[in-house]
Amino acid sequence: MTSPIASVIPETSAPRLARTRDRPASLPQRRSERARLRTDVALATEVLAPVWPLQQFIAINPLGGLEGRAFEDAVLATESTLGIRGTLDEASYRREYARGRISDAELRSALRRRLSSSLDRTLVLGGQRWDAADLLRVDLVHGTPAPAARRESRTLAERTAPAVAEAIDRQTTKWCAAFLDRGQATWVMPGRELGLFGAWRRLARADRSLPAAARQRVSGIPERGEDALLWALDELRIPAVEHRGYLQAHLACLPGWAGHVRWRAEHTGDVDIVDYLAVRVVLERLLLSPAGADPAPIPPPAPVERAPDTASRARHVVAALGATAEVSSDERRALAALLDLLPVETRRFVWLEAYEARFRNDLLADLTPRPESSRDDDLRDGQRATGGAEPVVERPAAQLVCCIDTRSELLRRHLEALGPYETLGFAGFFAVAVRFQSLAGGAATSRCPVLIEPSNELREHAASGHERGAARRISGLRAIDGAERSFHAAKDDLFGPFALAEASGWLTGPAAAARTFASAGYARARASIRQHVAPEALTDLPVEEAFTFDERTLLAEVALRMMGLTEGFGRLVVLCGHGSTTENNPYASALQCGACGGHPGDLNARIAAAILNGAGVREHLDAAGIEIPVDTWFVAAEHDTTSDRIRLLDRHLLPNSHAGAWDALAADLDRAGTASSAERCASLPGAGTPRSASAAVRHTRARGSDWAQVYPEWGLAGNAAFIVGPRELTRGLDLGGRAFLHSYDADGDPSGASLETILTAPLVVAEWINLQYYFSTVDPDLFGAGTKTIHNVVGGIGVLSGPGGDLRRGLPWQSVAIGDQLVHEPVRLLAAVQAPTARIDAIVDRNPLLQDLIGNGWISLAARGQASDPWLRHTSRGWMPWTTTNDEAR
């Protein structure tokens, strides 16, 4: 047996738990109660997604714990437990319908997919015959809207004493901010070693914000969080069978803090969700009745607004149809029975599916081969293609392997238009999962998707012969860090700010002015000073120390096979990670590479290039059938998605023989970046209409250095598809930065191993990103972080809106919208895979996570065996033609 379980609280210290019992519970009985409580808490928590700290913002599906249920069921369940809104409201969808974004045909198709044969009939109303689908469509468009979703489970305090409920939330925020702080606070909360509940219990006795009677009772509360929570639930007269629902109600009060506690519990282990709940429920008990009197009886729940019944819906439909003849009662009953097939609460899901159809149908039509003449017409028109993007038939001038991130699509498209370049898409961690410590030291960080816990560690070294330069950089970085710490320490000190203002005001005042009115110049000056104090040093990544030979060869082979790059290598193969440079942006990590755990992808590209250039690895690959020419060199680069600059990494490792090839490529990358910036500039608020491409570039680059800019770039807004297949599938198409592109060659993967990895990892990450954007858009208050303009960073872990309240989760409003105009269309992800459907079926059959995602409607799956085949839709009844109804045929 291994891993002894530690507990800081002796279990024998727990006093009697149940006030109604005649004698104290025995130890086995207490253990049973605790164990059952643990399960209640675990099940209550499934509606709550973990909230990552801001330094490594990870886009996740906020309903990830419910992926075992159908999307619709999970949304409805979460609406009633957390009070969220899981779709746009009907009024929003109707506005999209009114402006033509959703058509009648798309609505009818969505209805047919949902109700299938139930709609194969007509109804007579007032002597006129109507198609069943049309009647439901009228109800969708004209029916009385469903009432807004409302949280049904509420705490006792919320129902009986709203002021107490608010006080509990205030106390929770106060103590969570103190306990969970990661270095932002000047004073560390005492007693942290006791855990959240233990530390709170110790300090609450002296907390003057609590009533004196309540403070006096704290000492009598059990020391152990589980026991205290059971005590409080018992005192509140919450029956054991209702514990789970009651605890869920408490989790719903501040889902941001609760979600972050969940993340900390699972990743750092320094806090326990039971402790969090214990603090809240004990506070509730104490504040509802400080002197210990019995709590007030639980009042019945407040009446909820009811959805219109089918009879009234039927009347509404008849009125909307403008039927002139009398509609009989039998006809009305038949209509009501039809409307019963589509409950009011579920109409939004029909709207959602109709809303999703346009992009999906258009995309798959674009991915369908057409006669050359038709394609040439498109290229001339420049409607959906960039032009000049002829497939590479000879050895490419270079290959650029980009992250699957939707932002890479622009760069790839513009580069391909410039010459015989081949581009590929692969998860931006390049199959390198590692914990990394930089030359400057500090805490190691995981550079890989959060789906993986890396087991390899790598520490950056000074390059041979450059030790002095590295030492100078380290000392310079330490000096900068020390200066910054001193400055902040002075600001946080009681009297320090006065002296600080006197001593440095002459400098910081003008600096702030320069930073505001000449941000680009300020950024250049600061970078120059930084370079002077801590000049860049050449470093090496000792991949042989961090990875065994077998690991390196496995990594290299898996990466190349997954991206379908097993032949036709160019002289230069560029592994291009991506990062983002922004100022004063707590959400900076949300713009970094998700596949690298919210960090820039430069390091992973450097490691992968070093491995792929290794002689021993090349020999192994050769033996495995991947013959890389001796003149092929892998180089690492980084694409800054805010400025569209692409910079070469580890230039000192580039052989002289390849310097010319890189310089030529770099020039084209610069042009491609300029074109990408110009394209992006058109959609950035406040950018106006730049006079030239270079003016657009200057503008986009200035945004990254502007500390007041809340729209530095759009990140992955607009994402809607994940395309798996060879680049020929998408080459020449303008996908508008809406698609994740993963290269895949089905012919080179007969076992399906590569496809299985793509579908179980990159697709999952893309689904998380997609749903993070989706939910942040449909409910910016509870799933999103609200407006950036009032964000207040707390504890180094997240932001509050203003001085208090819940820890915000999800993306800020400025990531998905401008004012009240959505920039991100909240649609679920379409995965389009070019591979044999039998292979896909086999993979789905042995992976429950894919069964959940696809079968439960979290993503949609389209596939075709080869380019000449029609697209098929994955359904519960097997593969069906993508266009299954006449309504959809376009």
Partner 1 sequence: MNRPDLTHMTKVEVVVGAADVAAVRGVFEAAGATGFTSVSAVSGLGHGGYHQGRLLFNQQGALELLITVVGDDALDGLIAGLGPLLQERPGVMFVSDTYVSRPEYFA
Q: Which is nearer to partner 1, 760 or 884 (CB)?
A: 760
Stretch that binds partner 1, among 4-12, 380-388, 517-525, 686-694 (CB under 8 A): 4-12
Token duo for residue 125: 């109303």
Q: How far apart are CA 400 and CA 347, in angstroms?
A: 45
By CB under 8 A, tell whether 120 contacts partner 1. Answer: no
Kindly tell me which residue out of 18, 25, 38, 530 binds partner 1, with binding defined by CB under 8 A. Answer: 38
249-284 in b/e burial notation, b at 16+ Cβ within 10 A? bbbbbbbbbbbbbbbbbeeeeebbbbbbbbbbbbbb
Stretch that binds partner 1, among 36-44, 101-109, 116-124, 181-189 (CB under 8 A): 36-44
CB of 560 to partner 1, least distance (A): 14
Greatest distance between any 2 Cα atoms in the chain: 95
Kindly tell me which residue out of 9, 14, 17, 41 binds partner 1, with binding defined by CB under 8 A. Answer: 41
Q: How far apart are CA 114 and CA 143, in angstroms?
A: 19
By CB under 8 A, tell whether 847 contacts partner 1. Answer: yes
Q: How far apart are CA 217 and CA 186, in angstroms?
A: 30
By CB under 8 A, tell whether 249 contacts partner 1. Answer: no
Token duo for residue 128: 């006129």
Q: Which is nearer to partner 1, 37 or 54 (CB)?
A: 37
Stretch that binds partner 1, among 38-46, 92-100, 390-398, 785-793 (CB under 8 A): 38-46
Burial class (CB in 10 A: 0-12, 13-18, 19+), 625: exposed
CB of 354 to partner 1, least distance (A): 32
Stretch that binds partner 1, among 31-39, 614-622, 663-671, 828-836 (CB under 8 A): 31-39
Kindly tell me which residue out of 107, 411, 431, 458 binds partner 1, with binding defined by CB under 8 A. Answer: 431
By CB under 8 A, tell whether 1 contacts partner 1. Answer: yes
Q: How far apart are CA 61 and CA 59, in angstroms?
A: 7
Phi and psi at residue 742, in whole multiples of 5°?
Answer: -115, 120
CB of 810 to partner 1, least distance (A): 20
Kindly tell me which residue out of 34, 94, 645, 738 binds partner 1, with binding defined by CB under 8 A. Answer: 34
Q: How far apart are CA 416 and CA 378, in angstroms?
A: 17
By CB under 8 A, tell whether 558 contacts partner 1. Answer: yes
Q: How far apart are CA 786 and CA 712, in angstroms?
A: 17
Q: Which is nearer to partner 1, 6 or 393 (CB)?
A: 6
The side-by-side arrangement of strands in the sheet containing 398-403 is 421-426, 398-403, 572-579, 633-640, 645-649
Scan residues 277-316 and list those touching partner 1 (CB under 8 A). Answer: none
Helix (H, G, I), strand (E, B) or coil at 559: helix
Kindly tell me which residue out of 65, 594, 752, 786 binds partner 1, with binding defined by CB under 8 A. Answer: 65
CB of 677 to partner 1, least distance (A): 32
By CB under 8 A, tell whether 848 contacts partner 1. Answer: yes
- Assess contact for 256 and 799: CB atoms under 8 A: no
By CB under 8 A, tell whether 2 contacts partner 1. Answer: yes
Kindly tell me which residue out of 166, 266, 294, 544 binds partner 1, with binding defined by CB under 8 A. Answer: 266
Q: How far apart are CA 588 and CA 603, in angstroms?
A: 17
By CB under 8 A, tell whether 27 contacts partner 1. Answer: yes
Kindly tell me which residue out of 86, 198, 255, 449 binds partner 1, with binding defined by CB under 8 A. Answer: 449
Tracing tokens 């096979």 back to the chain, one arrives at: 561
147-162 in b/e burial notation, b at 16+ Cβ within 10 A? eebebebbbbbbbbbe
CB of 64 to partner 1, least distance (A): 8
Q: How far apart are CA 495 and CA 398, in angstroms?
A: 60
Q: Which is nearer to partner 1, 543 or 555 (CB)?
A: 555
By CB under 8 A, tell whether 265 contacts partner 1. Answer: yes
User: Which of 304, 753, 390, 809 has the alpha carbon at shortest distance from 587?
Assistant: 809
Q: Which is nearer to partner 1, 30 or 154 (CB)?
A: 30
Binding mask 751-780 for partner 1 (x = CB under 8 A): -----xx--xxx-x----------------
* CA separation, residue 12 to residues 7, 9, 234, 309 (Å): 12, 9, 20, 57
Kindly tell me which residue out of 15, 68, 162, 369 binds partner 1, with binding defined by CB under 8 A. Answer: 68
Scan residues 696-735 and list those touching partner 1 (CB under 8 A). Answer: none
- Assess contact for 543 and 459: CB atoms under 8 A: no
By CB under 8 A, tell whether 31 contacts partner 1. Answer: yes
Torsion of CA 183, 184, 187, 188, to 10 degrees: -40
Q: Which is nearer to partner 1, 565 or 816 (CB)?
A: 565
Kindly tell me which residue out of 72, 90, 158, 226 binds partner 1, with binding defined by CB under 8 A. Answer: 226
Q: Which is nearer to partner 1, 537 or 761 (CB)?
A: 761
By CB under 8 A, tell whether 567 contacts partner 1. Answer: no
Stretch that binds partner 1, among 33-41, 160-168, 672-680, 813-821 (CB under 8 A): 33-41
Q: Which is nearer to partner 1, 274 or 811 (CB)?
A: 274
Q: What is the CA radius of gyration of the chain?
A: 30
How many Cα atoms are found within 13 Å in the side-chain-facing hemisphere of 156? 27
Number of residues that bind partner 1 (CB under 8 A): 47
Kindly tell me which residue out of 452, 623, 667, 838 binds partner 1, with binding defined by CB under 8 A. Answer: 452
Name every residue whose Cβ is closer than 8 Å to that of residue 588 and which is 6 or more positions away in sequence: 580, 582
Token duo for residue 595: 């596949």
Q: How far apart are CA 408 and CA 455, in angstroms?
A: 29
By CB under 8 A, tell whether 483 contacts partner 1. Answer: no
Kindly tell me which residue out of 25, 43, 474, 693 binds partner 1, with binding defined by CB under 8 A. Answer: 43
Binding mask 401-430 for partner 1 (x = CB under 8 A): --------------------------x---
Binding site for partner 1 (CB under 8 A): 1-5, 7, 11, 27-28, 31-43, 65, 68, 226, 265-266, 274, 427, 431, 433, 449, 451-453, 558, 756-757, 760-762, 764, 845-849
